[in-house]
Amino acid sequence: MSLEHFQKHILPYKDKLYRFACSLLSNAPEAEDVVQEVLMKVWQRRDTWHEVDNMEALTMKMTKNLALDKMRSKHARTDSLPEQYDWHSDAATPAERMESENQVAYIRKLMQQLPEKHRIVMQLRDIKGMTYDEISEALEMPPQQVKTNLFRARQHIREHLIKTESYGL
């Protein structure tokens, strides 16, 4: 296949792939990297294009997989809650601020301990603000499974927070 075919039939998906990657990653530079990598892989496999029935579906799936790989990476796990996440008011005392910062750090640690499916669903729903349907589509998971994974993730976090509050563990 030719460069002309690539420009005419595949590059038009670029914006859609970028929006999809952004919805998963909530990070424009990482989304751009994912889309660039997908387009490079498609170009490198240009000899097999004739075997593909739906190039748009293939590129969307490749984008989803690469974005999820980025989320699974160590870098994405440590950024699950923004560092500047503000849980306290301006009227909080220094001790209250320190306590809330410690709690955010503890929640980050608990999220890293979650099973991968639970952690990813929780990040997409609670951190990135995606709807259940968006998560279901992005992860190719039934909506009920998304809700179950989110429930279990939240339950795990809640149980550990209650233990810490009750027993100081």
CATH code of residue 84: 1.10.10.10
**Same structural domain, 157 and 87:** yes
Same domain for 63 and 102? no
Residue 108 belongs to domain spanning: 77-167
Q: Are residues 85 and 163 in the same domain?
A: yes
Total number of domains in the chain: 2
Task: State whether 116 and 148 are in the same domain.
Answer: yes
Same-domain pairing of 55 and 110: no
Same domain, 93 and 62: no
Q: Output the pTM of the full model.
A: 0.58
Q: Are 67 and 81 members of one domain? A: no
- Is 135 found in the same domain as 98? yes
Please check the confidence at residue 148 and state whether its pLDDT lies above 80. Answer: yes
Q: For 78-113, how does the pLDDT look when each residue is reduced to its tens digit (9 = 90+)?
A: 444 444 445 555 667 888 888 778 888 888 888 888
Q: How does pLDDT run across 7-58, given as a tens digit for each residue? A: 888 888 999 899 888 877 778 899 999 999 999 999 898 888 888 888 888 8
Same domain, residue pair 35 and 81: no
3-state per-residue secondary structure call for the chain: CCHHHHHHHCHHHHHHHHHHHHHHHCCHHHHHHHHHHHHHHHHHCHHHHHHCCCHHHHHHHHHHHHHHHHHHCHHHHHCCCCCCCCCCCCCCCHHHHHHHHHHHHHHHHHHHHCCHHHHHHHHHHHHCCCCHHHHHHHHCCCHHHHHHHHHHHHHHHHHHHHHHHHHCC
